[in-house]
Amino acid sequence: GAVVSQHPSWVICKSGTSVKIECRSLDFQATTMFWYRQFPKQSLMLMATSNEGSKATYEQGVEKDKFLINHASLTLSTLTVTSAHPEDSSFYICSAFDRQGGIYNEQFFGPGTRLTVL
Partner 1 sequence: GENVEQHPSTLSVQEGDSAVIKCTYSDSASNYFPWYKQELGKGPQLIIDIRSNVGEKKDQRIAVTLNKTAKHFSLHITETQPEDSAVYFCAASKVRGFQKLVFGTGTRLLVSP
User: What residue ranges bind partner 1 (CB under 8 A)?
Assistant: 4, 6, 32, 34, 41-46, 49, 93, 95, 97, 99, 104-107, 109-112, 114
Identify residue 53 by its one-letter amino acid code. Answer: G
Give the nearer residue to partner 1 in terms of CB position, either 3 or 18.
3
56: left (phi over 0), alpha (psi -120 to 50) or beta: beta
Phi, psi of 86 (to 5 degrees): -50, -35
Residue 70: CB minimum distance to partner 1, A: 19
Residue closer to partner 1, measured from CB, 82 or 114: 114
93 vs 117, beta carbon nearer partner 1 = 93
Under 8 Å between Cβ of 80 and 20: yes
3-state class (DSSP) for residue 86:
helix
